[in-house]
Chain A
Amino acid sequence: MQLDRRKFLGLSAAVGATALLAACTPQQSAGSGGGSAFGNLPDYTPVNGPTPDIAGDLSKDILDVFTKFPANPPTLVSDVPGDGSEITGVIFISDAGAGPSMGNNAFWKNANEQVNAKLNLTSIVQGQDSVTKVQSLIAGNDLPELVQFDLKFPQLSGVLPAKFTDLTEFLAGDAVKEFPNLAGIPEQYWRGASFGGGIYGIPLVFGRMNFVMQTRADIFEKMGLTPSVSNKQDFLDLCAALTQPSANRWAIGNARGTLNYAKEMHGAPSVWVQDAGKFTHTWETDAFVDALSYVRDMWSAGYMHPDSFAGNTSLEQLFAGGTIAMSGLSSIYDMPYYLENYTKDFPELRIAPMAPPEYEPGKTIKTGYPGVYSLMAIKKTSDKERVRMLLRVLDWFASPFGSTEYLATRYGVEGVDYDLKGTDPILTSQGINETKVQLQFLARSVDPLYVAGRPEAAETLDSYQRQVAPFLNVDAAFGLQSATFDRKGAQLTAEMTDAQNAVLQGRRPVSDWKGIVADWKKNGGDAMRGEYEKSFAAAPWN
């Protein structure tokens, strides 16, 4: 048979594409897409750690509050977790940049000693860099033992069962008690690690409250305003009073955070909402359209900073510098973060969170997110003892706040990486540099709210979380499987975000939104709904 150039190229492309697809396609038993099979998730057993100043309840999304680091941190893991061998892994890099390599890093070497292992970790920028790297490692069959996965990793529900260990027999039900710190991760977080009937990773967990509307209490006070609203008009009045472009001040920045607060004020759900097994996306609700219209008016009235649609890059600087008086794109942890990092340069800085008003008499909604930042998966192996050892190491890293293990995973070595101020550990410049290697990304417990030395700020934050936690609304599709979302979710979301921004900026009329949503439904929205409903029917938490 003669093979001309065109046929040869065509054949090569077909062979290449098939091989790639085969590498990334799940085995039949993985059950991706249908989501008909779910295994048991680990039982939740709270860890008996140090006593907080104000006790929370993770099962109700209320975090513990500490105003100082415990004076005599207990050691919670009594056995040495590692076996002295090398553990390879890929973890994300923080925004603070790359840290020193293991040989020049006392913080890292100390962790190695504590767990009795050589943690040979490669740090990669999260997002496309990490996807490219991990895809290459998969294709080269060169995976390290531990891989940190973004939940948006392409075809994650296929990749995990195909290439990584199912941890069900080690973690499901009360088996997790062998790893007490992992058992301290509540069930709602494990949903994100459940794929095709197995548990394929340790979720990296955080408090689930985000999109907290933070206000600059010092600016409010100076202007005689109160960071509190009881209806939608109150908020607009507040924005009008705060906006003074001639004084380089706008009420608010970042369109996404603003729209989210408007959604809360109008009663629109976070993402997907489930009612009697039927799923509806927030984009389909009338409340969302009202919120769009509301923010569009805010933009045209000039209440929003001109960079509000330019991403989040400068949001932190704008808020800390007082150019914007409110920031809606914040997690519950941001207030301590700002106080810790900016009060040196801005001693006047004071922050107060502002709860959303009722959208109807007696009805409130507060957006949350699933609280799972990523998954730490273990490469597929039949060596069960090795898996147990790796889980013991991850369990050590998941030790809660206030323990000696926590000090080692976040602060390093006393006198080198941190010094004690009272009982609070303060990172030295060497510590700041060395802890850029995010060993805590291997595994962690849900952090409490730690507002060092500021009992009044701790109380403010605690009263806020108790006020809104009962109304926390988290994406109902979290942990459910949708092949359509895996395949087209990112593209569809990007298209909807573009359309949403066009409406908010006045480039398209609000009346277009109905047609935009109809297109989304036709292009995959309805397919996702069907898959989520089917998956929900089989979910153990249903």
Chain B
Amino acid sequence: MTTLSRTRQSSPLARRVWNGSWKSVVLVLSCLLVIIPFVSVVATSFADQRQITESGGFVLWPTHPSFAAYEAVLSGGVVLQSLAVSIGITVVGTAISVASTIGLAYGLSRPNALGHRPLLMIVLFTLLFAPGIIPSYLMVQYLGLLNTYWALIIPVAINAFNVIIMRSFFMDIPQELLDAARIDGANDLQILLRIVIPVSKAVIAVVALFYAVAYWNSFFTALLYINDTSMWPVQLVVRTFVVDSTSVSAEVPVQPGQTTPPQQSLKMAILVLSVIPILCFYPFLQKHFSEGALSGSIKG
């Protein structure tokens, strides 16, 4: 009873401190859950073989930091080359995808555009029913795109989800604004370029981010369509280092013919290198992220 009274009588300041403390603890724990794996990846990339082996594969702090893994990764040429390929595909692919998506979304957002309803149905259909691996392969082969960089861009150039986001945003633009431009003598292309795009920077930024991240992370299309390893993007190269194929074929415990152990620090160094560009890119677009992603979602 006394304790209860005391609790009831506790000052607002104490309550605020108490509320603030447990929230802080929860937040700190949540942050640690996210941060520790990143820290471990970076720390392991700088650790030496003995420390990694003794700790069972991952370390949280390198006792004898070494750049050996990065030197090995960057001297071989494979990873640097694949990084250049990925940057190229991401830049060109994102530009093509954003331009195509803007054009398609604008067309679909105009209620009186010719055939816009059947076209919208076709776009929505691809959202529900994605083509299978083999039909996609046959189409790419038919188009003569196998073993070209275009095979990594054209089949995935337009994403229906992004088109829908952008279309919704365009439909929210006040009709009066577009009518005013038309009265001033602007045609559809001029309206798109001078009115619609400038007021839609937020959604364009977020769609560009979606496309860029998708191009950057993509490995499966390269696995299917690219035979020349010198044309591989970085994610496919990363995959060859981090996928443990011994678990696939457990009949042979250590990969036959393997002359060196899979170096954990090397794997982690490649992971770090593959994540850096997207980490640099993301903060600049983050402010547009929620605005762009949500603005097209609610009409009214």
Chain A residues at the B interface, C-beta cutoff of 8 Å: 16, 20, 92-101, 103-104, 122-129, 132-133, 135-136, 139-140, 142, 150, 152, 204, 206, 210-211, 256-257, 307, 311-314, 316-318, 320-323, 329-331, 333-334, 337, 341-342, 344-346, 369, 373, 410, 427, 429, 432-433, 435, 438, 440-441, 444
Contact = CB atoms under 8 A, between A and B. Distances in A.
Interface string B66-86: 000000100111100000000
Contacts of A92: 245
B158 to A, nearest CB: 22
Contacts of A132: 133, 223-224
A432 B260 contact: yes
A177 to B, nearest CB: 27
Given A136-B137, A206-B256, A427-B259, A313 B57 contact: yes
Contacts of B76: 99-100, 433
B259 A317 contact: no
B198 interface: no
Interface string B217-258: 000000110011110100011011101111111111111111
B202 interface: no
Contacts of A316: 254, 261
A125 B261 contact: no
A534 to B, nearest CB: 25
Nearest to B247: A311
Contact of A256 (B134, B250, B254, B259): B250
Given A132-B133, A429-B75, A317 B56 contact: yes
B53 interface: yes
B78 A345 contact: no
Contacts of A346: 50, 53
Given A20-B134, A129-B223, A98 B252 contact: no
Contact of A331 (B244, B253, B270): B253
A309 B32 CA distance: 26
B126 interface: no
Candidate in B52, B76, B133, B270 with the most chain A CB atoms within 10 angstroms: B76
B149 to A, nearest CB: 15
11 contacts: A98-B236, A98-B240, A127-B245, A127-B248, A128-B248, A129-B239, A129-B243, A317-B53, A320-B53, A333-B256, A440-B257
Contacts of A307: 56
By Cβ-Cβ distance, the 7 closest A-B pairs, closest first, are: A127-B248, A101-B230, A97-B241, A321-B53, A345-B50, A98-B240, A122-B227
Interface residues of B, number: 59
A142 B138 CA distance: 10
B172 to A, nearest CB: 31
Given A135-B134, A317-B264, A331-B252, A98 B78 contact: yes
Interface string B130-143: 00111101100100
Contacts of B243: 125, 127, 129
Contacts of B258: 94-96, 337
B98 interface: no
A140 B141 contact: yes
Contact of B244 (A129, A206, A257, A311): A311
A152 B252 CA distance: 13
Contacts of A210: 251-253
Candidate in B53, B227, B256 with the most chain A CB atoms within 10 angstroms: B256
A204 B260 CA distance: 20
A331 B232 contact: no
A93 B258 CA distance: 10
Given A98-B229, A150-B249, A373-B252, 12 more contacts: A16-B135, A96-B258, A100-B77, A126-B249, A127-B243, A136-B134, A142-B141, A312-B253, A314-B56, A344-B49, A346-B50, A369-B251
Contact of B78 (A99, A140, A318, A321): A99
Contacts of A104: 77, 230
A314 B57 contact: yes
A115 B255 CA distance: 26
Contacts, number: 180
A136 B253 contact: no
A172 to B, nearest CB: 26
Contacts of A441: 257
Given A136-B134, A140-B141, A330 B259 contact: no
Contacts of B252: 206, 210, 331, 369, 373
Contact of B262 (A95, A98, A122): A95
B54 interface: yes
Interface in B85-120: none
Contacts of B49: 344-345
Candidate in A98, A99, A152 with the most chain B CB atoms within 10 angstroms: A98
Nearest to A126: B245
Nearest to B53: A321
Given A20-B134, A429-B72, A438-B257, A127 B249 contact: yes
B256 A373 contact: yes
A435 B259 contact: yes
B266 interface: yes
Contact of B255 (A95, A101, A204, A257): A95
B152 interface: no
B146 interface: yes
B262 A96 contact: yes
Contacts of B138: 139-140
B61 to A, nearest CB: 17
B53 A342 contact: yes
A114 B43 CA distance: 43
Nearest to A136: B137
A316 B232 CA distance: 29
A114 B236 CA distance: 30
Contacts of B133: 132, 135-136
B237 to A, nearest CB: 5
Contacts of A323: 54, 56
